[in-house]
Chain A
Amino acid sequence: MESELAGRSEEEAAAAAMEAQTDVDLLKRAWRNEKAAPEILQFEAGLVQRAREQIQLLEETVEEFTENRSDDLVIPLYQMDLDRALFLLRSYLRIRLQKIEKYMVHISKTNLWNRLSEQEQRFAKRCIDIMEKHLDQSVLSRLPYGYQSMLKQSISSEEDDMVPEPQLNTFVFCKTKSNVGAFQLDDMGEEIVDLVADDLYVLRYKSMKGLVDGGRIDLV
């Protein structure tokens, strides 16, 4: 019983240490990663929700302050903090929307779909609908039979080769948070890189995206 309690308080201490990173720090990290990554990343639902709540609270507080006190100094400072947080949140959501618009069909056909929030999924569905109708009406219906698909160049294509995919073989700049050690970059075990803590590397995204997902490396 005692050891159980002790164990739990250790976990709580570790969790508290993690929380010491503010939501703004986490949002910054999510924004940077999303901006630098070629494909869409997992939606940070919890973080976005908390950020929204905090922003709303601060908005209300600032409104209250402006009505009740004529404090010329403090209000603009809180307003700046608010603006900064809003910028991060909006930019984060916008980059994701940009990626969805660019790769909507690809996302809908793979398990990338699960990385979207509910609202993003609704957005994506509507985008695809609209795009399909538009392409059909303006071009596809007038093409010869066999070439009318939005997804395939022609019916003799084996795969959906008209669907743009994110370029996972691009290179990204990244910073390690802790020692990762020897890391294998390619399938054949020929390229191994020793990743030391807090160093800056340029790596192929495809080889290291697992590390990004696991939070062990940050894109810069």
Chain B
Amino acid sequence: MAGQSDPHISIFTPAEVEFLAEDELVEIVPNIRMDALNMICGDFGPFFPQISTKVPIWLAVALKKRGKCSVRPPEWMSVERLTHVLEAERESPREFQPLPFHYIELSKLLFEKAHDDIPDIYMVRSLIEDIRDVRFHKVEMGLEKISGRTHAVKLKNLSAMEVNIVRPFMVRALQAFYKHGSPEMIQQPESTVSRTQVLDRGPRRDLRPR
């Protein structure tokens, strides 16, 4: 999307979106015995060899890196399920199929850190890429429909990363339409007639951020 000329406070970097995704729970199968972990973000364990348990994905990745567990790929990440989702995405041009909110971040993390735990990984990877493409194409089509009469947009089932990518453009487009369609602007000529020495008595100017 178009680059930002000034860094705005309300931008989430992709790293921050991934950070949020890292708290999602995944199932792991430990190969060691470990006491329960009482962390600020929650309590997990105790861990027994071959007994599966759920932990946040950041913890799963840390354990996997140290060779202490294997990761069970989530149900939605099977070739069968994803093929079904891809077909459904292609057949419904105005709807998004339900997918986990963080499906992009989760799949990326698992591909990178637990690739040996995912059956048919190349197929899964390629399916997810296709799904992303189809969905994003729909987002682009949807953007073309934004007009001055758009006062709200509904994006059912859009995922976190997709939201983040489209956010800057969509916000600026909606803002621009709102500003130029606003009835306040139309009233401006009347008020400037009587005040000749003061400039721009219309709606508040946006001062440049420091």
Instruction: Mark A residues whose CB is within 8 Å of B.
Output: 22-24, 28, 32, 35-38, 51, 54-55, 58, 73-74, 76-78, 80-82, 84-85, 87, 95, 98-99, 102, 153-154, 156-157, 161-162, 164-165, 167, 169-173, 185-186, 191, 193, 199-204, 220
Instruction: Tell which of A22, A77, A202 touches B59, judged by Cβ atoms closer than 8 Å.
Output: A77
Docked-complex contact B151 and A201, CB < 8 angstroms = no
Q: Are A24 and B198 in contact (CB under 8 A)?
A: no
Tell me if B209 counts as interface (CB < 8 A to partner A): yes
Query: Which B residues are within 8 Å of any A CB, using their own CB?
Result: 9-10, 12, 19-20, 22-23, 32, 34-35, 37, 39-42, 58-59, 62-63, 66, 68, 151-158, 160, 163, 167, 170-171, 174-175, 178-179, 197-198, 204, 206-207, 209-210
Bound form: Cα–Cα A164–B197 in Å: 22
Pick the contact of A80: B62, B158, B197, B207 (CB < 8 A).
Answer: B62
Judge whether B34 and A200 touch: CB under 8 Å.
Answer: no
Most buried by A among B32, B59, B151: B151
Taking a contact as CB atoms closer than 8 A, the residue among B32, B40, B179, B207 that contacts A23 in the complex is B40
* Interface pair A203/B152, CB less than 8 Å apart: yes
Establish whether residues B175 and A24, one from each chain, have CB atoms under 8 Å apart when the complex forms. no
B204–A199 touching, CB < 8 Å: no
Across the interface, B152 reaches (CB within 8 A) one of A36, A82, A201, namely A201
How long is the Cα–Cα vector from A171 to B170 in the complex, in angstroms? 8
Given contacts A36-B10, A167-B206, contact A201 B62 (CB under 8 A): no
Which listed residue (B10, B34, B154, B178) contacts A169, Cβ 8 A? B178
Residues of B within 8 A of A173 (CB): 155, 163, 167
Quote the shortest CB–CB distance from A60 to chain B (angstroms).
13
B154: nearest chain-A partner, CB-CB: A201
> Which chain A residue has the least Cβ–Cβ distance from B59?
A77
Please give, as numbers and ranges, the residues of chain B lying within 8 Å of A81 by CB-CB distance.
37, 39-41
Q: If the complex has contacts A36-B10, A77-B62, A191-B152, are A24 and B41 also in contact, measured as CB distance less than 8 A?
A: yes
Give Cα A23 to B170, complex, Å.
32
Q: Are A165 and B42 in contact (CB under 8 A)?
A: no
Docked-complex contact A98 and B9, CB < 8 angstroms: yes
The answer to whether A164 and B207 touch (CB under 8 A), given A77-B62, A191-B151, A202-B170, is yes
Give, as a whole number of angstroms, the nearest-CB distance from A178 to chain B.
Answer: 16
| Contact sample, A vs B, 16 pairs, CB 8 Å cutoff | A24-B41, A37-B10, A58-B40, A73-B32, A80-B58, A81-B39, A84-B22, A87-B19, A167-B206, A171-B175, A193-B154, A200-B157, A200-B163, A202-B153, A204-B174, A220-B163
